[in-house]
Amino acid sequence: MNKSLNGIGMTSQRTRARLIERLREQGIKDEAVLAAMFEVPRHLFIDEALASRAYDDVSLPINYSQTISQPYIVARMTEVLRAAGPLGRVLEIGTGCGYQAAVLAQVAREVYTVERIKPLYERARKQLSDLKIRNVSVRYADGSVGLPESAPFDGIIMAAAAPTLSAVLREQLAVGGRMVLPVGMQEQWLYLIERDASGFRETRLEPVKFVPLLMGKA
């Protein structure tokens, strides 16, 4: 656990505890994930005007037509990623405000996160550094091609939906690695891709709603 977060946002401890109870009711079981969700002050990643809703289980706008994911989906994706054991190096595609990256940082040794919208990248970078979260590297790049220079990864999370399952990204998984991603256009599903010595296994998990993965930098 990242000790540097202790003491931040004490006023919202009780609201955060309620969020954890709701996540348990929704089926999140991994105690390390629940602890990470408790630890990370979600209200600091969104506009002050929306801060009172920070611990509601909803997605919220973060400008540039993007959203911070619903806490349930952040917890769920992190739990699926961690299901095979502790995480070493993880890649997130779609930093947004940096909230999911901050949660991942609590349960993985090192996190790389990639954002294509420059002001979002800059803000997330500053926010994570203000919180003294030091095991996250934020990159301004088109993540649709992954981050080949830092591969292989034990886990890959996509926070934006591609129309089809990408074959490029799974190649950046280590053997034993897992990738969690939303796939589809109007109708989207969460998929788990597992890599073992003999190849890849795909599992369709549950319906989801994500912003689209876009190409190029903005």
**Interface residues with ligand SAH (CB under 6 A)?**
66-69, 93-94, 96-97, 99-100, 114-117, 120, 142-144, 159-160, 211, 213-214
Here the tokens at position 92 are 């997130």
Does an H or E element contain 112, and which? strand 108-115
- State whether residue 67 is helix, strand or coil: strand
Smallest distance, Å, CB 74 to ligand SAH?
A: 6
CA pair distance 90, 100, nearest whole angstrom = 12
Residue 61 or 196: the one with the smaller Cβ distance to ligand SAH is 61
Q: 82: number of CA atoms within 13 Å, CB side?
A: 22
CA pair distance 156, 158, nearest whole angstrom = 7
Residue 123 or 195: the one with the smaller Cβ distance to ligand SAH is 123
Alpha-helix runs per DSSP H in 83-217: 99-107, 118-130, 167-170
Smallest distance, Å, CB 181 to ligand SAH?
A: 12
Smallest distance, Å, CB 199 to ligand SAH?
A: 26
Active-site annotation holds for 69: yes
Cα–Cα nearest to 33, from 45, 23, 42, 43: 23
Residue 96 or 155: the one with the smaller Cβ distance to ligand SAH is 96
Smallest distance, Å, CB 111 to ligand SAH?
A: 11
CA geometry: angle 75, 173, 200, nearest 5 deg: 95
Residue 90 or 159: the one with the smaller Cβ distance to ligand SAH is 159
Q: Which of 12, 69, 144, 166 is catalytic?
A: 69
Query: Mind telling me the catalytic residues?
Result: 69
